[in-house]
């Protein structure tokens, strides 16, 4: 795919002279475009938009509100980013949207700005892939290297860790936390927090073991993986009547030298508005 991007002959404040802008694009006064930014046909860029160097908008992209987009991010047609959230409590407060560098945002993706009911911020990390039709609602925080497959949906205030994969047509309920390196099976409805390194599946998602394939691909050592398996069994496969938090306390003492295991245990003990996703009985 290639377009002709005629450079505007006049000097425009905020627009780097190396930026290439298609004549059908509309860029409002106050927008900031870095070096070598390419804006394709029929894009609309609002007055508070910041595009860092080498950002590419293929065509028909709409960017609004106080939004910054990191270097080398590519945005495909009909994506809508930074517009007001689908939240009736939103009253026009000047919240923000931040998208990291080296992100790929495919067709029809929607990412909506934050609200005063939370951090006033919606954020997507670096090196993420948001596939066709995926949705990041207001006040979501998405970590680095996350993948949202086609039509995956994040409700408001969701927190997604690093290297998380969310399968196609899955829906994550508001305020749910998803830990690092977790994987969500396609067409899953996730109503509860997902521990780091986990695999969850199901119409009403349940814990289905550890994401062992992902751990191996990410280069975790055999010793770390085996300790994660041990602590998972101790926490979630033990059939005794010992309360989960007592098991967590015991595991914290046993695995205190393993930072990866400790991150899992810390996640469980952190404050949350949702209970934990657990295995099927």
Active-site positions read 138-139, 156
User: What is the C-alpha end-to-end distance of the chain, expressed in Å?
Assistant: 52
**Which conformational region is residue 145 in: left (phi greater than 0), alpha (psi within -120 to 50 degrees), or beta?**
left
Give the 3-state secondary structure of 201-269. ECCCCEEEEECHHHHHHCCCCHHHHHHHHHHHHHHHHCCCCCCHHHHHHHHHHHCCCCHHHHHHHHHHH
* Spatial contact of 267 and 248, defined as CB atoms under 8 Å apart: no
């Amino acid at each position: 795919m290639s377009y002709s991007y005629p450079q505007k002959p006049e000097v425009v404040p905020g627009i780097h002279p190396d930026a290439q802008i298609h004549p059908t694009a509309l860029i409002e006064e106050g927008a900031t475009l870095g070096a070598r930014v390419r804006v394709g046909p029929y894009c609309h860029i609002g007055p508070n938009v910041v595009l860092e160097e080498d950002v590419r908008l293929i065509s028909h992209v709409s960017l609004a509100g106080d939004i910054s987009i990191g270097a080398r991010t590519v945005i495909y047609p009909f994506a809508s980013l930074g517009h007001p959230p689908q939240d009736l409590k939103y009253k026009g407060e000047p919240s923000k949207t931040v998208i990291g560098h080296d992100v790929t945002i495919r067709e029809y993706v929607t990412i909506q700005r934050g609200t005063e009911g939370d951090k006033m911020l919606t954020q997507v990390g670096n090196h993420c892939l948001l596939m066709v039709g995926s949705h990041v609602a207001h006040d979501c925080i998405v970590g680095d290297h996350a993948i949202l497959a086609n039509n995956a949906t994040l409700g408001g205030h969701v927190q997604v860790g690093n290297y998380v994969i969310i399968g196609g047509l899955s829906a994550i309920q508001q305020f749910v936390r998803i830990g690092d390196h977790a994987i969500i099976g396609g067409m899953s409805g996730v109503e509860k927090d997902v521990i780091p390194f986990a695999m969850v599946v199901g119409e009403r998602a349940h814990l289905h073991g550890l994401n062992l394939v992902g751990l191996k691909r990410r280069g975790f050592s055999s010793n770390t993986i085996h300790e994660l398996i041990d602590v998972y069994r101790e926490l979630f496969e033990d059939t005794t009547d010992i309360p989960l938090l007592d098991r967590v306390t015991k595991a914290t003492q046993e695995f205190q030298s393993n930072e990866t295991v400790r991150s899992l245990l810390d996640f469980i003990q952190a404050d949350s508005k949702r209970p934990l996703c657990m295995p099927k009985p």
